Structure 1
């Protein structure tokens, strides 16, 4: 398992890789534009060879791009879906252009609509993004609220219907906890593993985050590992479970206020070593 964190891309991709290296990250996740804007403002990106050399110097083995929070391929609003599709396509093309391995996108929501219909809209959008790219993988992230793709069964149905290895799942531990999965209890973790296996969920990435809110509250509030309601041992016990395929691990925690620190990455890596997953 590779362990890394989300880092700022202010100053460009090469500066982002430098920051990731300072934190001891094997995986660097970043935004290529504002996560809360429809405006695409990414400048000229360095060539993939330049990025690759910088990543090697920093000790980064894999780059993951996180798409804008505004994207909602599940929406019943056709104009919103079109805007979402255009922005995700731009993001995927840019990510592929710098040699990133994957793009993470939130599943989206469709309040009051049939979840199956919403998942079909997501699938149609993802298919169009894949047509515009050749290598990038799209990882659908489970949300902290809603029923479109908040649990293993829904995620398995969404990804499985596409029948391509270029679509996978990013599983956020805090979001699972927020919708009621008991990661903090051994029986709850067993239930999650069983559900993931039954639904054949292609988990390619874990967002390993503790929770600043209690279980089932539907609130997207991350906490540093071991400082939240889930707990460090519980988190790593789930992520390191050998019955699940090996996947990369990215921290999206507050650190001291400006994101994950080197000690946060090192602490998770040490726990995974203890669980014999590294």
Structure 2
């Protein structure tokens, strides 16, 4: 069975209960939340999360390990000046995840700012290793990026370097289809072929397939290689429904949580209909 859901709001007063209820209404069996505002590190006490009520009512419907947590966008472990705060925050975030039973923390790798790439990758890897050493039971999942500005993670090669430096079973990759497309990976025409240059073959050759733990499924408003990172609704962008459906249903991605992050349409959630589209219903 396809494991598919979407980004869902997580807010007062009912937190997990409302998030799970909305996901169930969308016919989802997984979901992704931020434990607070995506652009802020402000957090409420986890006693307000309604964890016990979730465990009693909904744990069998959407399991704790299928609740994906996304770190705030403003966290930059690659920044030499602010990484101490970022580490402390993520350690605290993971401890909140432990209370829920969530297993995957999706993280934007950050930006190198005025630092050279080699130093930045070393610095970033060290910070992630420090976080892993001070936490348990949660894996940090590095997201593929579109390549805006000085973003880290715009290529599979950069993520491979980071993963090798960190050298942990608790490090993985989140493949974002919009980011991959905008970053120059043609997952529409060269997703899988016999030419040895397709996307799946690249993952295999780099020994990265086993590290794929989460997928963000988004269409793109821009042409291949634009480096702009603008999500489109499923089937409404340059990637298209057929390619996205093939991606989501590929046998090598079986049982990997697939999360939709597409825009609302006239202030209404598109996720129930888009989940149907991907399932082919």
Q: Do both share a fold (TM > 0.5)? A: yes
Query: Alignment partner for residue 220 of structure 2, among 198, 211, 218?
Result: 211
When residues 50 and 159 of structure 1 are mapped into structure 2, their CA distance, relative to the original with a 3 A threshold, is farther
Q: Deviations over 1:205-225 (max 9, x none)?
A: 110100122222211211111
What CA deviation, in whole Å up to 9, does each residue of 1:202-246 have, x standing for no partner? Answer: 111110100122222211211111011100111232343335675
The residue aligned with 1:276 is none
Distance (Å, rounded) in 1 between the aligned partners of 2:140 and 2:273? 29
Structure 2 unmatched ranges of 5 or more:
none
Where 1:264 maps in the other structure, the secondary structure is: helix
TM-score (norm 1): 0.87
8 Å CA contact 1:93–1:132 kept in 2: the answer is: no
Distance in 2 of aligned mates of 1:258 and 1:84: 33
Structure 1 residue 63 displacement after superposition: 0.5
The Cα shift of 1:143 comes to 1.6
**How far 1:46 sits from its partner (Å)?**
4.6
Deviation at 1:193, TM superposition (A): 1.3
Match of 2:203 among 196, 218, 226: 196
Q: Does structure 2 conserve the Cα–Cα contact (< 8 Å) formed by 1:178 and 1:219?
A: yes
| C-alpha distance 240-121 of structure 1, shift in aligned 2 (>3 A) | farther
Of 229, 241, 244, which aligns to 2:238? 229
Q: Could you tell me which residue of structure 1 aligns to residue 180 of structure 2?
A: 176
- In structure 2, the partner of 1:6 is 7
Aligned-pair Cα RMSD in Å:
2.3
Q: Specify the alignment match of 1:275 in structure 2.
A: none
User: Paired residue for 2:275?
Assistant: 265
For 2:73, the equivalent position in structure 1 comes to: 69
Q: Cα gap change, 1:223/1:54 in structure 2, threshold over 3 Å: closer, same or farther?
A: farther
Residues 214 and 36 (structure 1 numbering): CA distance in 2 closer, same or farther, change over 3 Å? same
User: Structure 1: where are the runs of 5+ without partners?
Assistant: 272-278
Distance in 2, Cα, partners of 1:255 & 1:264: 11
Q: Pick closer, same or farther for the CA change 1:258–1:37 going to 2, 3 Å.
A: farther
SS of residue in 1 equivalent to 2:213: strand
Question: Which residue does the alignment assign to 1:82?
Answer: 84
Q: Match for residue 259 of structure 2?
A: 250
**Matched residues in 2 for 1:29 and 1:99: separation?**
13
Moved more, 40-49 or 147-156: 40-49
Structure 2 counterpart SS, 1:161? helix
Q: CA deviation at 1:251?
A: 0.6
Distance 1:72 1:92 in 2: 16
CA gap 1:96/1:260 in 2 versus in 1, 3 angstroms:
farther
Say yes or no: does 1:110 pair with 2:112.
yes
User: 1:30 & 1:221 partners in 2: Cα distance?
Assistant: 20
CA separation in 2, counterparts of 1:48 and 1:270? 33
Conserved? CA contact 2:122–2:165, under 8 Å: no
Alignment of 1:55 with 2:58, yes or no, is yes
Give the Cα–Cα distance (whole angstroms) in 1 for the partners of residues 29 and 167 of structure 2. Answer: 29
8 Å Cα contact 2:4-2:258 kept in structure 1: yes
